[in-house]
Structures are given as structure tokens and as C-alpha cells.
Amino acid sequence: MKTIKLLSLVLAVMMIFGSVAYADVINQPVVDDQNATITVTGTIPGASYGDSVGIYVLKPGKTSAEIDVTDGEKFKAAVAGFAAGLTDNEGNYEVVIGLDGLGEGDYTILASSKKLAEDKSLVYYFASKEAKLDFIEELKEIVDASGSK
């Protein structure tokens, strides 16, 4: 029974803090609640030093088809954050994106590069710092309750 509870806790934590779809191209993002930023790292296969990569954070419910870089209003309606970076000798990149004022929800992180045959993406569930702290308190209560039985 404790194994089932522990597995449930692990799955719940993965749902709250995100999960990875394309680990090579986009790694697990790191959210800095204090500075309202997200750091996205990854590796672009076949890229060499100085190749460009664009990282888009799409608002919940938006798709890459809705990104229109020629229309500022449409771009803002679809994109919560954007940053461009360059790859190193091994195709690795790291970009930091400001994400001030995001609400909770499933955000799509999209990596775009000329070296990719197609854009790669992952869905990341963003939760506010307060929601994360509340969730941790709930987990503590569950663990405490299961330990007393």
C-alpha cells in the first residue's frame, strides 16, 4: 500500500513540475519563480558552433500555426515568451526567457532551428510559486498521515 502511495506522489510531482517529450532537443525547463524566468536547455542534432535556435513559450491552447512574426498582435496573442540563442560546438544551447505574470496551465515550449527537420516541442505545466508550496504542504500531510498507520 505504501508503494502505491509513493508512486502516486511521484506521478503527482511529475504532473505539477512538468514532463519531457523530446529530451534531446528540449530538456526539462528550470523555472525561477523569484525572477519570473524559465531556463530552457537542449541539444540540436547536427548543429555546430554558432547555429541559431529560437525558443517560444506558447500560451495554453495555442499552437505553432498561430505564431505570426509579421503581426505583433497575433504574436502576442499566441506567445507568452521568446528567446533566441546560439549553439556550442556540440549543438547545446541555453536560453533564459522572462515569464512575468503567467497563469497556471499547460504551456508549449517550442524549439525552432534550421538544423531541425521540424520544430520540436514539449508541454510544460506551469504552476505559480504559491500553488507549488500548497502542493508540497498537501504532500507532507499525505506522507505524515501514511506514516502513522
The pLDDT tens digits for 9-68 are 444 444 444 444 343 799 888 888 788 888 999 999 999 999 999 999 999 999 888 888
Q: How far is CA 32 from CA 41, 103, 108, 130, in A?
A: 14, 15, 17, 13
The pLDDT tens digits for 55-86 are 999 999 998 888 888 998 999 999 999 999 99
d(CA 43, CA 65): 23
pLDDT confidence tier of residue 139, bands split at 50, 70 and 90: confident
d(CA 147, CA 145): 5
